Structure 1
Amino acid sequence: MIKAVKNDRQVVTEILAASFSNNRSVNYVIPQNEKKMERIRKLMAYSFDVCFAFGDVYLSDCRKACALVLYPDRKRVTWQSIWWDLKLAATVFGLSRTAKVLSREQLIKKHHPSDNMFYLWFIGVDTSHQRTGIGKQLLQELLQKSKGMQRPVYLETSTPENVPWYQRAGFEVYAEEELSYRLFFLRKLL
């Protein structure tokens, strides 16, 4: 696993956009129209920027998988972060959907601990390299990193088929919420 640099923004964005193009949670917040993929790319670029500033961005050694990790305790409101949020609302969700998105974010945050955590916001594998073990290897390396930092790992998934994959890595489902889809909250404690 390697730590991404700013020049990796495009490769990370492309891996995640393709990996999450049919994701229920992403599609819940993205308007479903001819600009869907463009909007998903912008969402992933935004997420890269936030994690690059307030967390970590990782690539697998082969650069075919990536993960965005956020440390919420390190996140700060800055002029840059305000600009990113405004741009996200205007160009990705649309102003009419912003209330829906904010409501969803509040729902998610109520299930997060108040202590420091290793928030695995996104993990994805290049679609032509899925089911080859790259994602599993990256997840194992992320778990080692979180253990070294003494931070439990938290994440959500809207893909029921992914729950057993996470459970095999030692995660437990600790909550579920119903939106227009089921959202599973998982954690791996220290």
Structure 2
Amino acid sequence: MCDRGRVAAVDVRPVHKPDVRQLAAVLARAFYDDPVMKWMLPEDARRRRGLVPMFATMTRHHFLAGGGSEVAARAGRIGAAALWDAPGRWRHTRLEQLLMMPTFLRAFGRRGTRGQQIEALMKEHHPEEPHWYLAVIGSDPSVRGGGLGHALMRSRLDRVDAEHAPAYLESSNPDNVPYYLRFGFEVTGEIRLPDGGPSLTAMWRQPR
């Protein structure tokens, strides 16, 4: 417990296997109202059920092995997570795809084709220059504005800067673009989804 009037410090640390379930639940709540997720899974109940296993299988079968992802916690409770790929590691291997596929099929059902369309478009527009890739970042709505997301961004970008490396992300929510601009990212393009879907904003951060 913290003293009255004091706010517990934010603890940023690498993601470990026991974190996966809680991390996935946090990201599911963070992305529940995300425009791209609503396009993929427009039914509220299906989206609520599908996002947790989706984030869990992505973390378990891809991001854990890369060692680039982190969680932010306050008083021992995870409130935000960032899933990063180190340079040269953003593509899923064939084995990772096979391991994740059953969960994706259960989560998306007949909407799975939309997920495949997004993946193909993101690959098409992804930069080839080696870079750190911020695939996912999100804070639980109950702690949003409490500095956890900022701590996560600053933690990884400090390492990116130490390596004098660039960074890349796609923002799935236009409301978040100004937030990334404050960290030095610049808008480099727009990835339009088919069938009247929303757009992803491609953003690049130069080495510094």
Unaligned ranges ≥5, structure 1 = none
Point out the structure with the larger helix share.
1
Aligned pair partner of 2:101 in 72, 86, 103: 86
Quote the RMSD (CA, aligned, Å). 2.0
**Structure 1 SS opposite 2:127:** coil
How far apart are 1:83 and its partner, in Å?
A: 3.3
Cα distance in 2 between the residues matched to 1:126 and 1:111? 29
Preserved contact between residue 14 and residue 67 of structure 2 (Cα < 8 Å): no
Preserved contact between residue 31 and residue 93 of structure 1 (Cα < 8 Å): no
How far apart are 1:122 and its partner, in Å?
A: 1.0
Aligned pair partner of 2:50 in 34, 39, 56: 39
Partner of 1:168: 182
Partner of 2:38: 27
Q: How does 1:102-141 map to 2 (within 5 A)?
A: 102-141=116-155
Cα distance in 2 between the residues matched to 1:100 and 1:4? 28
How far apart are 1:52 and its partner, in Å?
A: 0.8
Question: Normalization by structure 2: what TM-score?
Answer: 0.81
Partner of 1:52: 64
Cα distance in 1 between the residues matched to 2:113 and 2:73? 39
Preserved contact between residue 66 and residue 85 of structure 2 (Cα < 8 Å): yes
Q: What count of residue pairs does the alignment treat as equivalent?
A: 188
How far apart are 1:131 and its partner, in Å?
A: 1.0
Partner of 1:185: 202
Cα distance in 2 between the residues matched to 1:65 and 1:17? 11
Matched letter for residue 142 of structure 2:
S
How far apart are 1:173 and its partner, in Å?
A: 0.6
**Structure 2 SS opposite 1:69:** strand
Q: Which region of structure 1 is more displaced relative to structure 2, 32-41 or 163-172?
A: 32-41
Cα distance in 2 between the residues matched to 1:61 and 1:188? 26
1:77 and 2:89 are equivalent in the alignment: no
Matched letter for residue 190 of structure 2:
E
